[in-house]
């Protein structure tokens, strides 16, 4: 290695990695495109506020901490966080007997959990929610059909 010893290079690399880890808080969306970031923000607002004319619940009623924390159902049963949801979808849903995309799951929760009016798959709302959830999984390895965190 030129001028710089292997050992100090290794140390420098470790220090740089730690700095990067500190600069990017866990679970934060690292979206550099401002247009995309706007849709992430819209999706987050829907996640925390939109009731879809349903039973009064919002996504965050069950999926806590913007989806990053472990959630719980109204009966108190725990549910996994959505921290890697976009990395584990599409997945086979035994109950439905078919493969679900992330958009299918979002629409299923709007119709079921929120008892709301389900927007079309290509609606802006479903897109924004999918974009927000995908931002939570940013940087995570795709693991289709894998375990939710
Ligand atoms: C009444 C509670 C409740 C609300 C409100 C709710 N969900 Fe869910 N959600 C669940 C439960 C329970 C599961 C897991 C069971 C399942 O797979 O059906 C789940 C699963 C999910 C998953 C899949 C997680 C994984 O990795 O398998 C996503 C994504 C999701 N919800 C998104 C949403 C969105 C977006 C909203 C708001 C539109 C929402 N949920 C509202 C209860 C809820």
Residues 6+ apart with CB under 8 A from 85: 67, 102, 105, 133, 136, 137, 148
**For the chain, what are the domain ranges?**
27-136
The pTM of the full predicted model, rounded to 2 decimals, is: 0.85
Class of 27-136 in CATH: mainly alpha
Question: Does pLDDT of 27 surpass 60?
Answer: no
- Ligand 1 center to residue 84 CA distance, Å? 13
pLDDT tens, position by position, 32-53: 999 999 999 999 999 999 999 9
Which secondary-structure segment (H or E) carries 92? strand 91-93
Residue 29 confidence (pLDDT) above 80: no
Ligand 1 pocket residue status of 62, Cβ below 6 Å: yes
How far away, in angstroms, is 65 Cα from ligand 1 center? 13
Q: Is any ligand 1 atom within 6 A of the Cβ of residue 57?
A: yes
Q: Examine the pLDDT at 76 and tell me if it is beyond 80.
A: yes
Q: Give the pLDDT band (50/70/90) at residue 118.
A: very high
Mean pLDDT for the chain overall = 88
* Residue listed under structure tokens 């607002």: 45
Peptide bond into 140 cis (omega under 30): no
């Amino acid at each position: 290695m030129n001028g710089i010893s292997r050992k100090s290079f290794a140390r420098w690399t470790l220090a740089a990695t730690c700095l990067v880890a500190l600069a990017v808080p866990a679970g934060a969306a690292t979206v550099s495109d401002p247009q995309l970031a706007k849709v992430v923000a819209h999706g987050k607002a829907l996640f925390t506020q939109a009731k879809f004319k349903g039973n009064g619940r919002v996504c965050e009623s069950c999926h806590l901490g913007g989806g990053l924390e472990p959630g719980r159902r109204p009966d108190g049963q725990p549910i996994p966080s959505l921290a890697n949801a976009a990395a584990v979808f599409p997945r086979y849903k035994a109950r439905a007997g078919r493969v679900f995309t992330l958009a299918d799951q979002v629409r299923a929760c709007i119709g079921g959990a929120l008892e709301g009016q389900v927007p079309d798959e290509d609606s802006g709302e479903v897109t924004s929610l999918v974009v927000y959830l995908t931002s939570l999984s940013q940087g995570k390895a795709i693991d289709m059909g894998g375990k939710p965190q």
